[in-house]
Amino acid sequence: MKLTHFDLFSGYGGFSLALQNILQSEKQQSKTKDTTSEQPRRLDLNAKAGLGDTFETIGFSEIDKYASAVLKYHWPKIKNYGDITKIDWSKIPDFDLLTGGSPCQDLSIAGKRAGLHGSRSGLFYEYMRAVMEKRPKYFIWENVKGALSSNRGFDFSAVLNEMAEAGYSLWWQVLNAKDFGVPQNRERIFVVGFRDGCPREVFFERGTDDENKIKVVGELNSETWLKRNESIRRVYCPEGIAPTTPTGTGGGCNDKDCYN
């Protein structure tokens, strides 16, 4: 059984890489699994979700020229459909899984918090247009933790309502990258949708306490970096964790690139 996948707001292909790595990991574990030992609770695409043993991304949607160049380099045979607002979904082949993190700038505590009414975070409704027109079996939507508090929580309520009204059962959770081997304290919310079925409890394998310690190994001393906050200049060890730039310096950043 093959799982087909379409990725929105693709960036550099993080969702595609993650799915490939999960399937490879599960195949490797199935070969070496010790049935007598207790296995960690984790997201198991094969056993828990029944997604099969082969995987194929059939399309991207990304407009940034640099990210698009990376996608073309790594996946030269997969089409990038570009601007999500201009995609005619009736001409796109059907797929099983839709992924994407719609722009977070208007939901983030580091921005001006226009919420879903903002021109950027409002593209969430384009994500839902894809869901409603293509009706994939599953979807994964990712965004900043600030989505929970945007517009006093009404924005996230609107997100869940749109998804439920489209006919999907939902499971959502705030996850931190530091718990999954990434050397960064980076909290994100993930919503998993299952079409025409009961919500499934999804387990995620967490790191150990030793893996979650901040380890500073140096500092950037160039003239440009010395003008910045000390926490931004620090160089963190990949064996530990590190704060994201905005969360390390506080919210309220109005810079267009400051949105975590």
Closest alpha carbon to 192 in 62, 46, 43: 43
Outline where 92-180 has alpha helix (H). Answer: 124-134, 154-165
Q: Is 258 a catalytic residue?
A: no
Residue 39 pLDDT grade (very low, low, confident, very high; cuts 50, 70, 90) = very low
Distance of CA 184 to the CA centre of its chain: 15
Please indicate whether residue 84 or residue 201 has the higher confidence score (pLDDT): 84
**How far is Cα 257 from Cα 235, in angstroms, rounded to an integer?**
20
For the beta carbon of residue 208, count every other beta carbon within 10 angstroms. Answer: 8
Please indicate whether residue 93 or residue 243 has the higher confidence score (pLDDT): 93
By mean pLDDT, which of 43-57, 71-85, 243-257 is the weakest?
243-257
Q: How is the chain split into domains, by residue range?
A: 2-30+38-195, 210-249
Q: Is the pLDDT of residue 99 over 90?
A: yes
Q: What is the pLDDT of residues 121-156, one digit of tens each?
A: 989 999 999 999 999 999 999 999 999 999 899 999
Q: Is the pLDDT of residue 36 over 60?
A: no
**How far is Cα 233 from Cα 171, in angstroms, rounded to an integer?**
38
Instruction: Say which residue the tokens 């160039």 belong to.
Output: 222
Distance of CA 180 to the CA centre of its chain: 13
Among the four given CATH numbers 3.40.50.150, 3.90.1200.10, 3.40.50.2300, 3.30.300.20, the one describing domain 2-30+38-195: 3.40.50.150
- On whether the CB atoms of residues 151 and 145 are closer than 8 A, the answer is no
Q: What is the pLDDT of residues 181-217, one digit of tens each?
A: 777 788 999 999 998 766 555 555 555 555 556 666 6
Write down how long the chain is. 260
Instruction: Say which residue the tokens 């997604």 belong to.
Output: 51
- On whether the CB atoms of residues 196 and 221 are closer than 8 A, the answer is no
**Candidate list 104, 198, 237, 258, residue with the active-site label:** 104
